[in-house]
Structures are given as structure tokens and as C-alpha cells.
């Protein structure tokens, strides 16, 4: 089957930025293949798409980005059904809070698997189809992909890896007609933080010598999420990038995110970044 309607595949669409992006992309005229690890959690997306009047443009598929065979079969299925794949939005991810002395190496590996290797797997499978369509590859990273943040060592390491991967891929992909962008949200009022299922009192009780720093960090994060963007606000720059002929490589979703990442990007010696984040744990 071949269609003239542009098709975008978005990962991690059961909630938050992914859900908002799927609905907004459908409203912008895209056929959306909205993927999630557990399609049993697809009701929120179905309801949002129906309310927006775009249910017929949103197709839900199961995809676990850490399953290489499933990634390959899902991408092949999309192209067989629609004849093309014009864009991919890598959005699926998972957080991990803790410091390395009190985390296992396996926890770090698991965090890297979802946030980095999952992106690599989807990107690798998608590139031949994006090349054929002269399409676009957009990856949701985080301000934590630019600035390392206390008690987010594994998560930020994974997001740093994604940014380095995509920054290296971008000029190569451009030679075959594929644009590559990373999107860096700050705090977003979504189920992402809730999905971490953090028992803060238990974490503090087990933090030992790190308890004062962790308590200060939790206070900081609570305040930050009190002024968070909505998922729809964070999704808007992604939709703009999908529509752009030459989107920027690095895209922040708010003035705060631009200011915050700008501190690092203009900080040649690293002093400014460490001065900023050290305040979070005092």
C-alpha cells in the first residue's frame, strides 16, 4: 500500500509529551503511528484523539524500544501498511533517581538500555525509510542531556549519550536528505515523574550520608515541577520541527530550558554549570 499522506512514528505515547505530540501531529495532518510498550494503556490517547476529532489519524501499535526484533518488525509493518515513513519522534524513556554509591550497575545499565540503546535501535531501523522519504528524525532528550543534574547520574548519562549520538549523526544524515534534531524539555507536568514511583521518605531514610543533599534536591525538584510546562506546550516545538524545511538541531521547549541549557553551552570551563547545580544540593 502506498499513500500520499505523510506518516510519523512516535514512541512512548501512552502519556505526557508523547501523547500530546501524537494528537497534535494528527491535528497538523500527519498519519500518526503511536507506539507504546503496553497497548493496554492506550485509552488516554484514544480519548484525547477522539476529543480532538483526529481518531482516524492515530494508529496505536505495540513497541518496546529495547526489543530489537520488535523494533524491526514494527518499522517494517508500518512501511508495508503505509508505503512510507516520513518522520520518527524518539520519545520513549524512563527515569532513575539515585547516586552511584547506592545504585547498582544493573540499574545504570537498565537506564541506558531504555533511554540510549532504545533510541539507537529505533534510529537504525528507521534510517533507510527516512532516507527514502527525505524525512526527519526528532529525539526528545532533556535539559538533563546538556546539564548533568544531581541524583540523576544514570539518566543524564543516557541523555548525554543520546545528544552526542545525534549530534554526530546529524551531518552524516543530512548528506542523504534526513534532518536530525534533539528536543530539550525542562520540567513537564506529566506522568513521567509519577511513573518513577518514588517513595521519598524511604529514599531519605536509606540515603545515609547523602540524605541532606537528597532532601535539598527533592525540595528543588518539587518547586520546579510547580512551574512545569504542560505536555501540549512541550509538544508544540516538536510539531514545528516536523513542519520545518530545515529545523534546528537543538530545540528547547521553553524560555527556562533555553536559559538553563545556554549556561552549559556557553560555559567553556565548566565552572558556571557546577556553581549552578551545586546550589541544588545545599
Task: Please spell the DSSP secondary structure of 112-168, one letter per residue.
Answer: HIIIIIHHHHHHHHHHHHHHHHT-EEEEE--GGGTS--TTBHHHHHHHHHHHHHHHH
Selection from 246, 118, 86, 90 nearest residue 182 by Cα = 90
User: Which one of the listed residues 155, 210, 217, 256 is annotated catalytic?
Assistant: 155
User: Quick check: is 217 catalytic?
Assistant: no
**279 Cβ partners below 8 Å, 6+ apart?**
none
Angle at 171 between CA 166 and CA 174, to 5 degrees: 105
Rounded CA-CA distance 215/234 in Å is: 28
**CA 136 distance to own-chain centroid:** 15
Residue 11 in grid coordinates: 514512541
Question: What is the DSSP secondary structure assignment for residue 281, as one 8-state letter?
Answer: G
Catalytic residues: 155
Amino acid at each position: 500500500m502506498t499513500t500520499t499522506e505523510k506518516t510519523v512514528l512516535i514512541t512512548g505515547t501512552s502519556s505526557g509529551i508523547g501523547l500530546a505530540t501524537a494528537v497534535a501531529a494528527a491535528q497538523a495532518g500527519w498519519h500518526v503511528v503511536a507506539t507504546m510498550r503496553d497497548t493496554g494503556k492506550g485509552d488516554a490517547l484514544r480519548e484525547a484523539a477522539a476529543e480532538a476529532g483526529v481518531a482516524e489519524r492515530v494508529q496505536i501499535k505495540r513497541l518496546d524500544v529495547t526489543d530489537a526484533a520488535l523494533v524491526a518488525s514494527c518499522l517494517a509493518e508500518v512501511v508495508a501498511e503505509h508505503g512510507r515513513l516520513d518522520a520518527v519522534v524518539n520519545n520513549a524513556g524512563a527515569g532513575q533517581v539515585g547516586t552511584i554509591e547506592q545504585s547498582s550497575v544493573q540499574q545504570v545499565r537498565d537506564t541506558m538500555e531504555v533511554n540510549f540503546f532504545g533510541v539507537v535501535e529505533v534510529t537504525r531501523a528507521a534510517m533507510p525509510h527516512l532516507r527514502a522519504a527525505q524525512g526527519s528524525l526528532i529525539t526528545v532528550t532533556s535539559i538533563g542531556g546538556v546539564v548533568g543534574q544531581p541524583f540523576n547520574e544514570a539518566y543524564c548519562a543516557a541523555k548525554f549519550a543520546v545528544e552526542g549520538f545525534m549530534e554526530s549523526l546529524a551531518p552524516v544524515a543530512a548528506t542523504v536528505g534526513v534532518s536530525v534534531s534533539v528536543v530539550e524539555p525542562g520540567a513537564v507536568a506529566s506522568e513521567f515523574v509519577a511513573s518513577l514511583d518514588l517513595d521519598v521518605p524511604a529514599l531519605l531514610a536509606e540515603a545515609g550520608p547523602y540524605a541532606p543533599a537528597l532532601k535539598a534536591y527533592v525540595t528543588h525538584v518539587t518547586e520546579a515541577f510547580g512551574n512545569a510546562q504542560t505536555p501540549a506546550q512541550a509538544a508544540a516545538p516538536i510539531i514545528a520541527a516536523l513542519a520545518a524545511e530545515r529545523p534546528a538541531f537543538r530545540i528547547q521547549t521553553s524560555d527556562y530550558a533555553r536559559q538553563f541549557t545556554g549556561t552549559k553551552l556557553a560555559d567553556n570551563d565548566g565552572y558556571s554549570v557546577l556553581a549552578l547545580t551545586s546550589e541544588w544540593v545545599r
